[in-house]
Chain A
Amino acid sequence: MAPDTTDDDRDKKIAKLQFLIGLTNLQTSQQSKSKSKSKSKPKLDRFDSILEMLETSKPQIPQVEQETYPSRTINAQLQVEKNVIGIYENFLEKGSNNIPEIETLKHVQYVRFYLQNPLPVEMLGYDSLHTWTIYWLLNARCTLGGYDKISKVEKDAIIDKVFSFWMDETDAIGGFSGSDGEYQLPHIASSYAALLSLVIIIDDDNYKRIKKNLDVEKIHQWLLSLKQPDGSFFMHTNGETDVRAMYCALVIINLLGIKDEKLTENCIEWLVSCQNYEGGFGGDLMDEAHGGYAFCGLNALLLLIDTPKQLYDLIDVDSLISWMVKRQYGMEGGFSGRTNKLVDGCYSTWVGALSPLLEVVTGTEELINREKLQNYILCCCQDPGKFGGFKDKPTMRCDFYHTNYVSCGLSFCNSFHFIDEDIMKEDGLAFSFKAAKLDDDCPLGLVDPVFTVPIGAPLRFKKYMKRE
């Protein structure tokens, strides 16, 4: 297929790359003391793997096009590429001793500080997202290795805070709202975040209190009132419907054990219709494929079906995989949320969680490139100084949202998932995901790809809710 001349060129390139990698192997092998006891194939040293990214990935957009058809998309992409190349080159110049590692300590400090102190003025924009803020910080702290270190006092304070957002909409229905203002209505996404926070901290000591405060019947009636004939859910009374509302509703329904025919009617049909021509999911029928909605769409289906293989009867699994892997960019290593959009750290979860799920569904060892995603997160999403937190891309500031979803993404890079068949039969597919670390030395906690909380927490919560 390829003429000889280019084969030569290619061979030269490969030889050059091998030469470079060979050289750096000499340099790095002396410094690497304890290597991972990884279960899968041997991994490239991070230094070598960054070098490979720079050597083998052409920029996404060839210069030729830039000259002929300049546009906003091309300019923005080239800007990011230039920026990221600079960062990677800088790290390579410093040598293999200075390749960034996971700096869990400073990130834990960052989330602990904001969990325990009132929000600073510049973050008041988050005001309507109070339950989300609690969940993001709490979950990031667990993912970064602090799961066992949350004290009883802190847990009690979080329970108080979460229940301060409880709203009775009428005598019969209620849920959690986004802020403590009186005008706020119960909101599905806020309730999802509130519930996940409780899922994370529930224990022998506090479950009775959580059960007593949580009015499951009111939530049940409220969700029924939001249910639409086409299967979708309103985000709140007279609100809008989208895949996110469906996913959040199904998480709540599954966790509280209130799944019934009325709530799940037409859900599958509606979700399936949201997979679009590109293979990903949009927010609604025929909307553009988007990482956030793909996460919600696939997980909503997993919260409805009994076995992973059933997925093949519902959606085009292969085109979802094809769309998912195209979200990863060769130069940057991170994911974009949509075709022709820029890389962004939070898609390490929205798209990154799809990979372990689809690996389980297809029985494949690895679909995305974990190593290169990890390079992007460590080099481009954390600040080099003493301040913690994660961000979207190098030019941005750290925030709670990205701190949580980049942390989870980093955990996915360092783990693989599998299904516990007994749990699947007993408690349902969505509760049956288990995980193991790829590298035993990795300090990060394991994350559930369906619920995005510490692995095992959803099932534990469900069992506490049944306990007397």
Chain B
Amino acid sequence: MNPLETLKTAIANSFRSKLRTTLTVLAIFVGAFTLTITNGLGTGISNYIDSQVAAIGASNAFTVTRTDTNAGLGSGPQKYDPNTRVLAAGGRPGSTQVALTQADLDKIGAVPGITGVSPVTRLNTAYIQWNNQEKYQLSVSVLAGAQPQLDAGQNLDDASTVPQIILPSSYVSPLGLSDSAQAVGQDVTIGIPDATGTMRTVTATINGIEQNALLSSGGAFINKALSTALAQAQATGTTTASAPVYTTATALFAPSTAAQISDMKNRLSAAGYTAQTLDDRIGTVKTVINGIIGVLDAFAVIALIAAGFGIVNTLLMSVQERTREIGLMKAMGMGSGSVFALFSTEAAFIGLLGSLIGSGAAIALGTVVSNALARGPLSDLAGLQILSFAPGTVAVVILLVMAIAFIAGTLPAWRAARQNPIDSLRYE
């Protein structure tokens, strides 16, 4: 029998016992459906996290701090050294963080591969106000290559001399603005206390409004022009005696391979600095999510294995039912290989049927549910499609299910193949 004939006969055979085939297909359907949904969940959530992560920082930047040489709990306080500056850090009470000086920044910048270093100055902004209406608290951060997801307006322009700001959408109506679109282009006043405690004000233009986001700090992004202006205002009245010190610095690098990145990290570490990319900082979140998806996938695979036993059973029954027919075909010169191919093709076809229907239903239902969720309970997390289906992943699911079905079919197929024609014909 040629392959096309085998395929046609296998398909026709699987439709001969409709109820039995339907039940097996249903079992596979459940497995394929679950697997497609869990994969959709994984794709949806990781897409969302990737876009959110891009919103808070660039992927080609390190956050660099001085490595704390304090050996940890119980080692007691460090000896005072007049050459090291320390800053009170936000960690456990009493912990300190070694500060970065201009000399440190130069050293970091000298590491091969690093294209630029900028210190992270803490800007203690006090409030924001529009059109002399109510004042609201505000925290700001510079946009170190981050790509916030915008509701309206445009991303910041660091080359511009105009002080620009991107506000979270939650600020729009409290400030007295009617909507995001109206907010863009408006001038706002930012209050910041200087070194002597006197409140200074700086004016900035709203360049964009950021969507509500999972990882957002609730603060605003500012461009270089605005951060310089704010830093100047904050520094008014500082005594020139104290040179500026920083807790952290941002070091940019050209797009690199993982090996190059880890090489740069090692060099920085050897020099006494701790460098973390955004992935390092966000890595744990992703690991947890991948773990959860992995567990869900495992459940789906268990469902599929159960469905696999269903296939074994269905085909064993069908081999039994067709014992005489197999005997007849073998008596007419059909080879064992062809008999095996016929039955395993039937198994794979049942698998294909189940997985196509299962994945199709999962995609249809998942898309509807996901859209409903995005409009309803999850609408605070703009841009989150909890389920999203990548064609590649769905294809992998279908192939996996077919492979499981095929493997399940080998036992019955082998039993059919090894039968002696006369014994099979005598079977009642």
Asked whether A and B interact, the reply is no
